[in-house]
Structure formats: C-alpha cells, structure tokens
Structure 1
Amino acid sequence: MNRRGFLQSTGAMALGMALPRQLYARSTLELGGARIDMVSDGHLELPADMMLENMPQDELAEILARYGLSGDQFEPPCNLVLLRDGPRTVLFDIGAGPDFMPSAGHMLQAMDSLGVAPQDITHLVITHAHPDHIWGLLDDFDEVMLPNAEIMMGRAEWDYWMDPDTVESIGAARQSFAVGAQRRLVEVEDHITLFEDGAEVLPGIHAVATPGHTPGHMSFALDAGGQGLLVAGDALVNHHLAFERPDWHSGSDFDLEQGAQTRLRLLDRITADDLTILGFHLPEGGIGRAERLADNRYRFHAGV
C-alpha cells in the first residue's frame, strides 16, 4: 500500500469513529448524462466579527435573529462540486487539506463514500486560493493530492497569490493565507493551466469573473443536461447576509465595494436566467435558487 492509500484507509477509519455521519451528507443532481455531487469537506469555525464589523448593527441583529444566528462564531459548511460527465471527473476546489483547521479537510473520506479516488479526478477547477479552497492540493506528505488532474485557475488569481509582494501587502491577519497559497501553487505549477474571464475552460464550463472576495475570484457557468447552473465559490459566501443585503460590505472580502457590486451583479444574473446555485458555503448540501425580493434584496431557497 502506498502512502496515499494508507492515508485514505486510516483516515476513513479514524473519521468514522470520531465524527458524526452528517459529514457525508450531500446533495446530488442527475442531469442528462451528467451527475453532480456536492461533497462535504467539513465546516469552518470563524469569528463572526471578521465578516460583520462593517455592517449596520441594528438591521444586522434583526437579520441574524431571523436566521437563528447568534454568538461570536459562524460555522459555515464547505461543499465541493464534483461533476462526472462521461470520461470527465471534474472537481471544483479541493478543500482545506490537513493543515487549516480540524473541522475541515475531510474531502478524501467524503469522496471515498462515493467510490471516487484522488487518481480518478481528471480536472480540478479553482475558484480562488483561500485556504479552505486550495490547501488540500497537497496531502500530509506534501505530495500532490490529485496526481492525474489538470489544474485550472484564473490568471488574475494566480498572479495575485504568486506575487512576492502579496505576503507583505495582504495584512497580518491573512499573511499565512498568502504563504500557504504560494507554497502549494509552486508545488503544482507544472499541472496548472491558466485562463481568462469568459473562457470555456472545459466543454460546457465557462469562467465568470466575480472579483472582490479575492482579486481574481472566478465563478463558473455550467450547462448540464440543458439546465443552467452556477458554481459560485465565495462570491456568495453565505445564505443570509449575502442574499438579504448583498450591497453591504463584508469583512471577508479583499475589496469591500467590489465584493458588494459583484454580489449584486451575480444575483441579478442568477434570477434573470433562473440558474441553480452550487454554493461552497451554502446550507443543506449547497444546491439552491435565489428569489428576487425588493430593493436589491434576495432570498436563498435550498433544493432544486
């Protein structure tokens, strides 16, 4: 047994004993000859004020109460999109890996429950280079996690994280994000294909620039079985404030105003085109739709 096989078998055993069965909960779409699974990588544990500090506090409290949110911590789920379509097995983002936080980084075990192994992945498509989205590029032994995959990433995002100045300019709170991204991207550089906004990165998968959360954040428009879908990444980072008040500045964004403008533009497109959302941090498996309300406000509805 090689080292990755050992990791998968022992990791699955340990995880099965230590964590609840909900870890493997997922949503599935069957669309013509394509199948989409939302694969759980676990969840994050984040200080709430990281996101909320710039928001109007009175209206904020009312919205959070309606969604049953209180306290100082958010625990958003992490949902990876797995598309199987004929000879292609495409993963969108690869999760947090073993080094970010204990509650996340469980993609291997969740994929194993689907009968999918790392070597089965033919393409990895990256929305952006935050830890919970790409630190899983390397395994516990710093070996490439997906040995047979072509890795696809927007050029603007690549340029930002690989710029030596980013480590110094990103701010002390996120400096480890930049160091971790550079270390991993250097290791997989030979596997990476870069693309621009609007590119058809794979047949039926088009890049949609959604900057603000990071400088080069990309979402992806999919046409599977005649149905329009959008892999949103962190352009829509939660199911409450990002929909109810997309115009508010979110502290989780690199560029606060650009992030807000991107949310407004994206939600307008989603509702106008009746797109199904595949969301990294959205609840109940991450699949849902947006309903347009009044005054640039929206509501997320989980399910197909």
Structure 2
Amino acid sequence: MSDDSRLPRTLARRDALRLLGAAGAVVAAAPLARAQTAAPATAAPAPMNGNGFYRQRIGDMTVTVVSDGTAALAALLPTWGANPDRQAEFAATLAEYHVAAQNTVNHFNPVLIELDGKRILLDTGRGGANGQLVTNLRRAGIEPETVNAVFITHGHGDHIGGLTTAGKPTFANAQHIMGEAEFKFWTTQATPNDAVKNNLIALKDQFKLIQPGQEIVPGLTTVATPGHTLNHLSVLARSAGQGIMILGDAGGHFLLSLKHQGAYVSFDTNGDQAAQTRQQIFERIVSENLWVSGYHFPFHAIGHLRRLGAGSFEFEPTVWNWS
C-alpha cells in the first residue's frame, strides 16, 4: 500500500494544481454548454441604497432622494433659527436632540420621482465643482438624458445651479418647468446674479411656466408655499392612495422650524410669512398622513412628521432600507 505523504512536496503540489486546472476547465465549460438552452439573463438589480441616493417606494411611485453633497456650516445659529429673541430657546433644543450647533454641514437633496414611465427631477442642486447630483444620479443607474422633466421650486442658486453644465443643459431631453411668478421675479431683475443668468435666463426658451395648483405631470401638483421666496412652490405627488410632499425650502430646518412655531431662517425672504406657511404645510402633511422630504433635511431626508403639541412637530426619518 503506497503512502502519498512520502511524495516530494513539489510533485504533490504539481498534481494538485493539475487536478484543480482540470476541474476549472469543466466549470468554465459548463456555462458554454448551458448557453444553448438557458433563458435570457434577467436585468441587473437596481444599485443598493446608500451611495449618495436613497430609493423609497410610495404607491406606484419610486421616489429617489439624490444627494447633491454637503457644505461646511460653521454655526447653525442664527442662520437656521434666526429669531433674535429666541436664540437661547433654539440652542436648548439643539442640545436636547444632540444636534451640533457648530462645525456641522448643510445638506442639499434634490428628489427624482419615477411614475408612469416618466422621470421627474425636482430641483438640480448647486452645479459646478461642488455639485454631486449627476454623479449620484449615475450611481443610482440614472443618466441625465433619461430625465423627462425638471421642476424648480424657486430661484436660489443651490436649486438652479445644476440646470447647466459647461454652458449646456444638463438634462438635455427634459421639459424644464417653473412657477411663472417665481421665474419672472428672478429673470427680470436689473442685475441678476450669475446663477440666474447662467441657468434661468440662458434656458428661458426651454421653460414651461405654470401656476400654483397646476400639474407638473399627471400625479404631481404644485403647492403654493410662499415666504422662503414670495412665490415658492412645493410639490405634492400622489399615487395609489399614497402621497409625498416635496417641500423644497418650505420646510426650513428639520428640527427648529418644525418644533418651534414662528421660527424662521435668515435667508427667508419674509420670515413671518415663511413661518406661517410652514405651520400650514406641516399640519397638512400630518393630517393627510403624507410622506415628506425637505431639501436641507439631513440625508436620506425622507420620512414622516408627527405632532408634538399645538404648533409643534417632529421629523421622523424612515427606517433605512438597504435594497
């Protein structure tokens, strides 16, 4: 009876590799043999949530929050809670919720909705070197040319900056849509800023201008939410008995604007009006059990609201789902 353990190690290793090679050839040949009869391969699954985008199914819609990145924020107050007589109150709430008041970041979160075979993008981020929207759309498997419509909530640079890239429309095949009053406010100024010149005025012939309460596409309707800008429009999307309110900047800060009735942010055009609008829209979201997304809420920036008391609400981000 032979004892293979006495073979030289080099011989034993050589024979093992030969056996593995033969087995590998069989394994490699198997797909070729099966290819004659195998069913066509199924489409690759959608990329996993978390690499700059987050998908949520709502009714028959797929709602994807797409991060445009973040910007450093040295101090949260008084920018995001600007009432001068309430700074101590705001600071106490930040501490209670363990939200950093200094050396933090501001988030930018456009939303893409897929419904009835159409892709509708709501706001376009900052554009330029800082903008991450297109990168993160592609990570989600969405090419810019496949977007069918782009709607702009208002004319601030961090919402319109991504409309163009190197002087050309970023979303070349999309219908561009904006509220008429908001569009005209920005494009008729005597000295418009560069973001307006490069993204609204440069594309003025491509814009369809609509009114509050008018449909962007079937299933998506504009909602008047004045105050942050005087003609700001949010978007209500409904499908199969469910709905989501895309607030744009009507939501303000995810904590201070919700919890503290009357709170406003420093870049609201009309702080009192913005605060009143927020109360009304938050109440509607809770009463109608709507999903919600706020442009500057922390990513993944989608969830629900709950009522804490009279005039006071809290944002509840949805439990993260990786797939």
AA partner of residue 117 (structure 1): E
Could you tell me whether the CA contact under 8 Å between 1:160 and 1:215 is conserved in 2?
no
Length-normalised TM-score, structure 1: 0.82
Match in the other structure for 2:303: 288
Cα distance between partner residues in 1 of 2:189 and 2:267: 22
In 2, are the aligned partners of 1:153 and 1:195 still within 8 Å (CA)?
yes
Identity %: 30
The question of 1:146 aligning with 2:171 is answered: yes
Q: Given the alignment, which residue of 70, 78, 91 partners 2:108?
A: 78
The SS at the match of 1:147 is coil
Q: Secondary structure at the match of 2:280?
A: helix
| Coordinate RMSD, CA, aligned | 2.1
What's the CA shift string for 1:102-127, capped at 9, x where partnerless? 3xx10111011121111101100111
Aligned amino acid, residue 51 of structure 1: W
Report the AA paired with residue 50 of structure 1. T
Which of 221, 225, 244 lines up with 1:206 in the alignment? 221
Equivalent positions of 1:1-304 (< 5 A) are 24-46=51-73, 47-48=75-76, 49-55=78-84, 56-98=86-128, 102=130, 105-139=131-165, 141-165=166-190, 167=192, 178-303=193-318
1:12 corresponds in structure 2 to none
Cα gap change, 1:288 to 1:57, in 2 (>3 Å): same
Distance 1:123 1:53 in 2: 35
In the superposition, relative to structure 1, how do residues 28 and 192 fare at CA in structure 2: closer, same or farther (>3 Å)?
A: same
Deviations, residues 13-70 of structure 1 (Å, cap 9, x unaligned): xxxxxxxx99724322223442111111111334533333424122111111123234
* 2:227 and 2:270 in contact (8 A); partners too: yes
Instruction: State the one-letter code of the partner of 1:67.
Output: Y
Deviation at 1:226, TM superposition (A): 2.0
Structure 2 length-normalised TM: 0.78
Assess, with a 3 A threshold, how the Cα gap between structure 1 residues 291 and 166 changes in structure 2: closer, same or farther. farther
User: How many pairs were matched up?
Assistant: 269
Contact 2:67–2:136, Cα closer than 8 Å, also in 1: yes
Is the contact made by 2:59 and 2:243 (CA closer than 8 Å) also made in structure 1?
A: no
Name the CA shift for 1:53/1:267 in 2 (closer, same or farther; >3 Å).
closer
Q: After superposition, what is the alpha-carbon deviation per residue over 1:108-163, rounded to whole angstroms, capped at 9, x for unaligned?
A: 11011121111101100111111111101111x21111110001101111121112
CA distance in 2, matches of 1:70, 1:204: 38
Unaligned runs of 5+ in 1: 1-20, 168-177
- Structure 2, unmatched stretches of 5+, are 1-47
Pair 1:22–1:291, CA change in 2 (3 A): same
